[in-house]
Structure 1
């Protein structure tokens, strides 16, 4: 909910304009005599003779922030949260390439591919696509038009928010980007998935005269009037908590995703360290996060940045930032779970305890794991992957996804429906227009050579 106010003078100049978010209680008070328990079909509530109510859950997600980047850019924020008992998971790893591939398992409990099923029954998900086919012999091209069925919507999937909504939690979901948000990039939802759904608010804000228009993400001037966009997100969340957490009568579950200040520029995250520190200080000092599980995390690290061409670049993308703070009531009620979380902060690898090795067989049980960077033409795209080399068998096996680690122009329009190819295909017309792109001759420009390709040994 929001209210858009504008004042225009007689000569049509803008005098005043602002989009005001409106927040009010939407659900009745939460019963304190309730305990949540897991069932085969999800979660349910049962009555108990107690004044203890289940905790709220608030997630603040910073797009494209690795664990290393958080340590570098947010020292003040992390120092403050650590003084309150922050758990930071040093080896939390991605399960796919990009936001969608990592958010879906966390919020839906499924692999991202399970949601990318073409919708053949709804004409709203039919799009006309144009493909260019080139004869390999004559090199002549012809245009082919076809109907493509896109996946979506996700309303009928097991979105975790639904579990909390059924238990009378007030829910919210916000992501400030317009063009590449979870909502529209993958044709997210037909019905409003949460009680407070901020997509209309952000769209209204972007259409005002006070917003610096920019065709794309990562606006060079990411401001609305004199406020950076991340402050609007944080201010909204603070207002929401002031309404719902002033008393213990309203439980909440919400996801606040911040893109603009972290996705494309490493340096922008440094700008907001003080803002985040102040934001969390205000919430805790005003007791707005009492009986609340706070999850503060990234979805993945930087995927397509010059940093990816360094030795540490692989760790940047594969080890996202992930941390949480537990309320004291949770620690007292679930001491074993709390202890497990404490230990899990530093777990780096699992080894097969049942395997047996002798000095004679140890040599043959080792496999070489190579991290390989390679450049392709004519796009000068740079990719990274891991391969396993089994020395006794003299075989090579792909051990991970092939990741694109640089930007090299516009993705080919003719394969928009082929999600598995979008990171690799490159439009030749774009290449002809941008032969002198900043990423041309990427390996030479950044001094990448075979010495940068790492190798380590792992056990089978």
Structure 2
């Protein structure tokens, strides 16, 4: 089967030979055509640095009577991965600069040792008679804190004394830096990561491992919509489909970027609720926040949290990070040191490589090694890839094979027999030419989610699994993922008899509904806690961009942006350069005692800086206007906002 061909399986055994031949020829022709179309190597534009708005939009890729989900509460139109609006953007990334090949690594390693590769010395101009000394230095995150108010407290690190070797050395530490010298000159440096079992990690927890429990692993790939996952990661998709993973077709984001979509998943609350829960001010750390891994820790699980970027870390980018180590295995210390010392190939926002190793493969190897180390223990892990997928819509093509191979290795080791796996994203790509299309706008709001359960789970918790399957065509959110993770801690609560009992109950304290319970067909964006600005269920009609009313509404959006920047004198006053599009949204009719309010989705270009913004404005029926949700920006701001360190206001500020 071609790499980008479909996954349907047809029975041909009963066909006549001639018909089978025709079928085979047709299959080869179609598969070849798709392969050539997608892999057509052409120059990739810098597709989100200077974006032009497409005025002649093609609405043909949205079929009038075809729907992704269609319930009483929500209708999302059906879109094709290679619909007319977006197929032109699906191009293999030819300008990607790869890491130096692993064949150039002076050192080799496995799970226990590091050694010098004598066969590669010649590449570094090291003769056999030239003395080569390598320094093994362990480093770690110290428990003691010198300054609890320091802004970089999560980056603290200590290095141990050097241990020299010239051939091979046994690894005895979690994080290791190796520097190799010829005489007094460093000729090679690399960082190594090991997953030794931490026997004291659960010593304060008297709960013994629950052999009936399942491991739970959540893996994220940043900024990939459901349809872009189909376009760019077909091999991984095929592996998941063959294993029977459930795809959530109506999974809708609840915030703009990564942070407001992961907070509901990890804590069950909104970003706005953090202030009253655990983050009273912008300098606060996240140590007192109710992360889901704390619940798993209390249940006797080993816990892990890892991202393949430090600079773009979910809790570190313009945020306070952690004082305490949040999980038993915490990758931030390692990635931060590697990024700062051997990070190479910076592409827009991220270092892609740790010398000759991709950071995303470091993360995948780390997860695999943790599963091997903790085979006899219950394990909860939350991992996030950002370096490759964050900035370019087609870059996930580059990681597809490695992810497919990773899941196949987990399967071959039988680890998936005892594991619930969530493969998720936070949102679709938020900028670039594809974002200026109707399909691109919808894709941004509909990230992918796959949930893979083992056969034993499907059999023992039949009603729960049946509900999960049915909910694949319901409106769902990150809050629901959190509720589902809670349920996996208490498996007795998802036994058939309990599912029947709980199905008729509601939990007013929770924003989410476990995916093991039936989600109502009446569910709307409002009842699912999705702001109208992010809601994929709304319909609307375009208004003329040159009318007086439209331009007045556009000016209101600019005014709202300037309100956000009030008090930041270093940011320029924004002005309307152009109204690109305005849509009057069809919203629910008001109750008899309510004043009818209206909503408008507005797309504008501002000056200075040529920022492209999309916001939803609500008029209350009197004279009051308000922004619904947050205002999106879908071209990169680069260094325009270097003078401000608020992660949200960076979207809007143009430094004078």
TM-score for both structures, normalised by structure 2? 0.51
The answer (yes or no) to whether the contact 1:29–1:250 under 8 Å persists in 2 is no
- CA offset at residue 261 of structure 1? 1.1
Deviations 1:162-181 (A, max 9, x none): 11111221111111212121
- CA offset at residue 79 of structure 1? 1.1
Match of 1:326 among 453, 457, 473: 453
Match of 1:112 among 261, 271, 285: 271
Find out whether 1:228 has 2:358 as its counterpart: yes
The answer (yes or no) to whether the contact 1:291–1:328 under 8 Å persists in 2 is no
Find out whether 1:292 has 2:406 as its counterpart: no
- CA offset at residue 399 of structure 1? 4.6
Unpaired runs of 5+ residues, structure 1, are 31-43, 122-148, 354-362, 429-460
The answer (yes or no) to whether the contact 2:217–2:380 under 8 Å persists in 1 is yes
2:197 maps to 25
Whole-angstrom distance in 2 between the partners of 1:164 and 1:323: 21
- CA offset at residue 259 of structure 1? 0.6
Unpaired runs of 5+ residues, structure 2, are 1-173, 477-520, 525-586, 591-596
- CA offset at residue 4 of structure 1? 1.6
Find out whether 1:4 has 2:173 as its counterpart: no
Deviations 1:184-240 (A, max 9, x none): 22212100001110111112322445x427497234xx2233322211111111111
The answer (yes or no) to whether the contact 2:609–2:640 under 8 Å persists in 1 is no
Find out whether 1:155 has 2:287 as its counterpart: yes
2:244 maps to 85
Match of 1:66 among 225, 230, 244: 225
CA pair 380-364 structure 1, distance change in 2 beyond 3 A: closer
Whole-angstrom distance in 1 between the partners of 2:648 and 2:259: 13
SS of corresponding position for 1:426? coil
CA pair 364-407 structure 1, distance change in 2 beyond 3 A: closer
SS of corresponding position for 2:239? helix
2:328 maps to 195
SS of corresponding position for 2:464? helix
Match of 1:270 among 397, 408, 415: 397
Whole-angstrom distance in 2 between the partners of 1:150 and 1:117: 12
Deviations 1:92-131 (A, max 9, x none): 111111111111111012211233579999xxxxxxxxxx
Match of 2:300 among 147, 151, 168: 168
CA pair 379-118 structure 1, distance change in 2 beyond 3 A: farther
- Paired residues in the alignment total 368
Whole-angstrom distance in 1 between the partners of 2:279 and 2:345: 36
Deviations 1:32-72 (A, max 9, x none): xxxxxxxxxxxx9799xxx8521110111001111111111
CA pair 368-347 structure 1, distance change in 2 beyond 3 A: farther
- CA offset at residue 421 of structure 1? 3.6
The answer (yes or no) to whether the contact 2:311–2:336 under 8 Å persists in 1 is no
SS of corresponding position for 1:256? strand
Whole-angstrom distance in 1 between the partners of 2:242 and 2:185: 53
The answer (yes or no) to whether the contact 1:117–1:151 under 8 Å persists in 2 is no
CA pair 256-190 structure 1, distance change in 2 beyond 3 A: same
Match of 2:630 among 401, 407, 412: 401
Counterparts of residues 363-382 of structure 1 (less than 5 Å): 365=589, 370-382=600-612
CA pair 365-156 structure 1, distance change in 2 beyond 3 A: closer
Whole-angstrom distance in 1 between the partners of 2:599 and 2:346: 43
Whole-angstrom distance in 2 between the partners of 1:420 and 1:6: 39
CA pair 206-424 structure 1, distance change in 2 beyond 3 A: closer
Whole-angstrom distance in 1 between the partners of 2:369 and 2:629: 43
Counterparts of residues 49-64 of structure 1 (less than 5 Å): 52-64=211-223
Whole-angstrom distance in 2 between the partners of 1:9 and 1:28: 40
Find out whether 1:384 has 2:557 as its counterpart: no
SS of corresponding position for 2:190? strand
1:135 maps to none
CA RMSD of aligned residues (A): 3.4
CA pair 78-97 structure 1, distance change in 2 beyond 3 A: same
Deviations 1:246-270 (A, max 9, x none): xxx3010011111111000122100
Whole-angstrom distance in 2 between the partners of 1:154 and 1:181: 13
The answer (yes or no) to whether the contact 1:92–1:321 under 8 Å persists in 2 is yes
CA pair 242-377 structure 1, distance change in 2 beyond 3 A: same
SS of corresponding position for 2:395? helix
Whole-angstrom distance in 2 between the partners of 1:412 and 1:226: 32
Whole-angstrom distance in 2 between the partners of 1:394 and 1:150: 33
TM-score for both structures, normalised by structure 1? 0.72
The answer (yes or no) to whether the contact 2:308–2:387 under 8 Å persists in 1 is yes
The answer (yes or no) to whether the contact 2:201–2:302 under 8 Å persists in 1 is no
Whole-angstrom distance in 2 between the partners of 1:424 and 1:409: 12
CA pair 111-393 structure 1, distance change in 2 beyond 3 A: closer
CA pair 72-250 structure 1, distance change in 2 beyond 3 A: same
Find out whether 1:182 has 2:314 as its counterpart: yes
Whole-angstrom distance in 2 between the partners of 1:420 and 1:183: 14
Match of 1:98 among 233, 257, 260: 257
